[in-house]
Structure 1
């Protein structure tokens, strides 16, 4: 069941990352999900290193770090994907 939640969280985080970035990112939805999942994992690692992974209440800092990591990933991968597809 946690695998399904990881996919759902990856989709949401990936879509938020794509919405925050200016311009259009021509990447498929499956790549958005993968980048969102990786962003969530990287964000969790950073939050753990900072000591803010588990707090009382809603973990705003952890989620912001997850989205920020996904934004960086989408910003790096989207141009590479566009070059790959345009060949």
Structure 2
């Protein structure tokens, strides 16, 4: 249980920062905690969308090695969530 929470926090931080780097525009100045939340959302939503589109019965891995396509989907979803969060919070750079 604690391992899953730590993995979600670490993975969410990495994916949130990657999503923030990929996100278009310069107004994505959101706090770190919201970036982590977007990354965690990107992890879960990206995995489910990927599994639904490519009919993967095993959510953990759809290939025999590292599933780079699933990670790409996660980063794209995290970037979309960062853009949405930036639009909702309306926080601008000073």
TM-score range, shorter chain: 0.7 to 0.9
**In proportion to residue count, which structure has more helix?**
1
Question: Is 1:62 matched with 2:70?
Answer: yes
Counterparts of 1:10-25 in structure 2, within 5 Å, are 10-22=12-24, 23-25=26-28
- Bigger relative contact order, structure 1 or 2 (CA pairs below 8 A, ≥6 apart): 2
Partner of 2:83: 75
Q: Are the equivalent residues in 1 in contact too, given 2:42–2:74 (CA < 8 A)?
A: yes
| DSSP 3-state at the match of 2:9 | helix
Unaligned runs of 5+ in 2: none
How many aligned positions are there?
84
Which ranges of 4 or more aligned residues in structure 1 deviate by more than 3 Å? none
Unaligned runs of 5+ in 1: none
Cα deviations across residues 22-65 of structure 1 (Å, max 9, x unaligned)?
32422110100011001110011012112355111110110011
Q: Are the equivalent residues in 1 in contact too, given 2:16–2:78 (CA < 8 A)?
A: yes
